[in-house]
Structure 1
Amino acid sequence: MTPPPAAAPTEKELVLKVIPMPADTNGNGDIFGGWVMAQVDLAGSVLPARIIRGRMATVAVKEFVFKQPVRVGDILSFYSSVTRIGRTSITVDVEVYAESFGNQGRFVKVTEALVTYVAIDDEGKPREITR
């Protein structure tokens, strides 16, 4: 059963839009979950990059639950917000919504994840975030 359409979040920033292609599918013809996870990692890094202003690394992802399959040609919108800024790390909440290409404006939530990034120096060691 398809869930009712949702509104795009207004309290988060749109940081990425992408259309998955046939090369991104799994054996069932749906978009491979690992591909979506990689896009979440990219989208999640946008806001921390403004604060860290240098190298960073993904250090943790808290729970991916895929609520709906993603299909070839869907428009995926990635919204994020910073939930925590620590001494060396930043945690971001990323929500992913899909729109059918032929039915734009009707969003269905696909997944959500908390992603933590750590600021690193040139040697790859954690460094303090200066603001």
Structure 2
Amino acid sequence: MTETASPFMHPAQLPSERELVLRVIPLPADANANGDIFGGWIMAQVDLAASVLPTRISRGRVTTVAVKEFIFKQPVTVGDLLSFYAKVLRIGRTSITVQVEVFAERNPENPQVVKVTDAELTFVAIDNQGKPRQLQLQA
């Protein structure tokens, strides 16, 4: 999809080259007075979703150490079905950087899918004392 294209997609156009790591429907308790979902709530969900692949890859604990980019492209409303897709961008000695894209499925009678958030987060593998540990990657 280009930047000038419509933000709405058919559900079949959800990303196939990324892994679905979380799906959730925001509730009224997650909304502000205007009915939009709090950005902080979305950020927390993105952090959870982004941790899935690094946790699998590192085979242990990871912690978020950086959020390089976090873009809110569209408001999220109560009842949107949010799908979080992740892709590993980089694997270092102790760190893993992940891109997360969030899509909202709206209007079940006339389904639309819109990309609402894009973020890049870096995680570090840690030991039981919370110290960085080297990744033991399988060949």
Unaligned runs of 5+ in 2: 1-5
Q: CA deviation at 1:58?
A: 0.3
Q: Runs of 5+ in structure 1 lacking a partner? A: none
**Deviation >6 Å, runs of 4+:** none
Matched, 1:85 2:91: yes
Q: Deviations over 1:69-105 (max 9, x none)?
A: 0000000000001010000000000000001152475
1:106 Cα deviation from its structure 2 partner: 2.4
Larger strand share, 1 or 2: 2
The aligned residue for residue 49 of structure 1 is 55
Q: What do the CA deviations read for 1:34-92 (whole angstroms, capped 9, x no partner)? A: 00000000000111111111111000011211111000000000000101000000000
In the TM superposition, residue 123 of structure 1 has moved relative to its aligned partner by 1.0
Matches within 5 A, 1:22-61: 22-61=28-67
Structure 2 residue identity aligned to 1:116: T
User: What is the identity percentage for the equivalent residue pairs of Structure 1 and Structure 2?
Assistant: 67
TM normalised by structure 1 equals: 0.93
Alignment of 1:1-131 (within 5 A): 3-6=6-9, 7-100=13-106, 102-103=108-109, 105-131=111-137
Aligned-residue Cα RMSD (Å) equals 1.4
**Residue 3 of structure 2: aligned partner:** none
Letter in 2 for 1:5: F
